[in-house]
Amino acid sequence: MTHFARCFLLVFVQLGVGGLLSLAVPPFNDIARGFYKSSAGVFFTMALAGGGGSIYLRSTRGAEAVGTGEAILWAVFLVLFALYLSTLWGDAMVARARLFVASLGIGILALGTSAVAVAGGDGGLLAVLAVANALAGAGALGSVTSGMLIGHWYLIDPGMEIEPFRRCFRYFVATVVIELGLLAVVAIAVLLGAAQGGAERFAAYWHLAAMRLVLGPFATLAMAAMIQRVLAIPQTMAATGLFYIATLAVLVGSFLGRYFTFRTGLPF
């Protein structure tokens, strides 16, 4: 059951790391500090659930469950993220910038390490694809959640310019397209023999892979097309509601991908 837990904890740390990255998209000086405080708090909570869960597995089930180096990376990431979050209540701009870069860098390293441990057991190309797939998924999870959160901020500050919302939307679409492209690359590589017996494992759960695509990126891009039309009006409340549905689609796709990994040992 440790592998099952690790697969699903990966979704939470992806949201934490991807969410932190998404905070760099909207213009910091054009949005009230409260948006960054609340959004960073949400992403830190997700990172704490995933990273803290990994640390817990290391402490209770030993290094065979979670490597020592991986647990240390998550611990350092959580400390740096917490320190960055604390700077949002002050004016320590230099410290804030350095902590953001440091926490994001360690978070990406920790996420890559976890992705290889969970779905890169065949080494080589599969390990590289596992890292790329995890990072792309993190970007999609972070961007869609950030889009939903910034949409809520227009209820608090209805006079805010629409461009920050549109910027977050464009970033969201880009991350989903990149994720979909990487899923195609992973599928092709596995079917061509990137992992021993990988083609057979993939074929055995092709229906799960299809569900991951249809209910994840494809459904998300359909919602993105609707959001684009609404933002052209612009109608921020309707766009926020659509972002809710898009967030659900990305989450469903991510959880299906982790379940696919649990059943096959392959990243997807």
Q: Does 83 have pLDDT greater than 80?
A: yes
**What pLDDT, in 10s, does the model give residues 165-207?**
999 999 999 999 999 999 999 999 999 887 788 899 999 999 9
Residues spanned by the domain of 129: 2-264
pLDDT of residue 104: 97
pLDDT of residue 30: 83
pLDDT of residue 3: 86
What is the C-alpha separation between 146 and 166, in angstroms, rounded?
12
**What pLDDT, in 10s, does the model give residues 214-253?**
999 999 999 999 999 999 999 999 999 999 999 999 999 9
pLDDT of residue 102: 98
pLDDT band at 70 (very low <50, low <70, confident <90, very high): very high
Query: pTM higher than 0.75 for the full model?
Result: yes
Averaged confidence pLDDT in the chain: 93
Phi, psi of 32, rounded to the nearest 5 degrees:
-60, 145
Which structure tokens are listed for 47?
A: 């990172």
Highest mean pLDDT among 28-37, 75-84, 118-127: 75-84
Q: In one letter, which amino acid is 155?
A: L
Q: Does 121 have pLDDT greater than 90?
A: no
79-115 CB burial, b ≥16 within 10 A, e <16: ebbebbbebbeeeeeeebeebbebbbebbbbbbbbbb
Q: Report the number of distinct structural domains present in the chain.
A: 1
Using an 8 Å Cβ cutoff, are 7 and 261 in contact?
yes
Mean pLDDT of 45-73: 92
Q: Does 157 have pLDDT greater than 90?
A: no
